[in-house]
Amino acid sequence: MSSAGEGLSRPLPEQVRLNVVDLAAQVLGAMPAVSIPAPLRGIAKFDPRKRAKLGGAPIAAQLENDKKFRELVAESVKSGWPELVASLSDGQVPPAADPVLVAAAAYLIRPPGWAEMIEMARTDLEKSASVAEGSEREEVVSRLREQLATQKNAAKEESDRLREQIRQARAENSDLRRKLHEARERAKAAQRRAEEMEHAAEEARAAALSAGSAGEAELRRLRERLADAERQLEASRRAAREGRSIEEARIRVLLDALQDASAGLRRELALPTTISRPADSVAAVTGERPGVRGVPARALADDDPQLLDQLLALPQVHLIIDGYNVTKTGYGTLTLADQRTRLMTGLGGLVAQTRVEVTVVFDGAELNAPVQVVAPRGVRVLFSAPGEIADDLIRQLVRAEPPGRAIAVVSSDREVAESVRRMGARPVPSGLLLRRLGRA
């Protein structure tokens, strides 16, 4: 926090800077939300005890660069210390005033000669620090002298005690030397016997190692080859299982769709359950398989919920919903959490009525942290990964479905609608789903 261009040649003393930031943090907590400077709106939400500590640098920068904010903080100083402010405004510094408070008030109020007032406060603080340091040094020296005297007395007592121990040790030493000589002789004899036994053991060990080393080396090679073969076999089995499970799921979904479509076509054409004779097929008309592109508008409005009912009546249809595109269109005044909850509630009733597969995709970039969403039975909720938008995840879902399955994508985003239409899905405006949920 410096103001070289306004007369302050050096940064504020650290004590003064902390005092100024603390005053600004208190004022920041009492300001209306609309009056809080944009860079400090996030800091204003902090706990009052942590606001000055965690947001010190941004608050100091805002005080330096934002005259209006600095004057607002200065008002709190004027109301808290009116006599001090009046003296500083007259160019006089009260002799008994706290240098930290004087410098903080001068920096915020900016009376004539405020830079000199801050430098005077800096000089007073440095003198106080020097005096305190000198007193502390004298106390340390006195304490060290006392400790030195104590250590000298203890050293003298320890020296006397050691001299007595040395005298006793010398008396015992002669006896120990004699015993040591006898022990050395016994040790030499024992060492000779141990060396002879160790030499014999080394010869036996060398013979055993030479006989078993070749077999152990071959066994290790065989074990390594067996482990490599087992790892390769497991990797092959895992790859085969994963590939087969994905393809089986795609084929199963497509077969279910074909089965439902054929059953619906059989009911619509009133076909008999038995195999027709060749003569029965003369002049017969083959109906077209129903799909999302074949659903007619039937003179209905673009946002008429009956259009969505026609799509939901298709066999094995998959309804993919651009979550925030729908909620911000219909419930834009609510918070994101309330938007998700309201959409989940409406979709729960829709799934209970239609029994269709529903997937809701939300943009993960809208979240500050992971959230838990309580989804109704039959509703799948997905969030895009970091660095990925919900539009890309919707396209991945459409691309993952087998060709021929009916897919409807609810989004008013033109780019999303055009891309999924090219991929074979039917785009549906968000307003259509909102009206359908409102009708339910």
The terminus-to-terminus CA distance of the chain in angstroms comes to: 61
User: What's the pLDDT at 272?
Assistant: 54
Counting other chains too, the contacts that 294-301 makes at CB distance below 8 Å and 24 or more residues apart are 295/426
d(CA 202, CA 192): 15
Place of tokens 């989004």: 411
Which sign does the torsion angle of CA 57, 60, 64, 65 carry?
positive
Under 8 Å between Cβ of 413 and 322: yes
pLDDT of residue 278: 38
Evaluate whether 324 touches 425 at the Cβ level (below 8 Å): no
**413 backbone φψ class: left, alpha, beta (φ>0; ψ -120 to 50):** beta
pTM of the model: 0.39
Choices 1.20.140, 3.40.1350, 3.40.50, 1.10.3470: CATH for 292-439: 3.40.50
Higher pLDDT among residues 427 and 111, named by residue: 427
Residues 6+ apart with CB under 8 A from 58: 39, 40, 43
Name the DSSP class of 46.
Answer: S
The pLDDT tens digits for 224-275 are 888 877 877 877 777 767 666 777 777 777 777 777 777 777 676 756 554 4
Q: How far apart are CA 99 and CA 122, in angstroms?
A: 8
Q: Which of 403, 308, 417, 398 is nearest to 356 (CA)?
A: 308
**What amino acid is encoded at 420 in this protein?**
V
Query: Does residue 277 sit in helix, strand or coil?
Result: coil
Residue 292: pLDDT band by 50, 70, 90 thresholds? low
Look at residue 73 and tell me whether its pLDDT is greater than 70.
Answer: yes
Position 17 scores a pLDDT of 78
Backbone angles phi, psi at 163, to 5 degrees: -60, -40
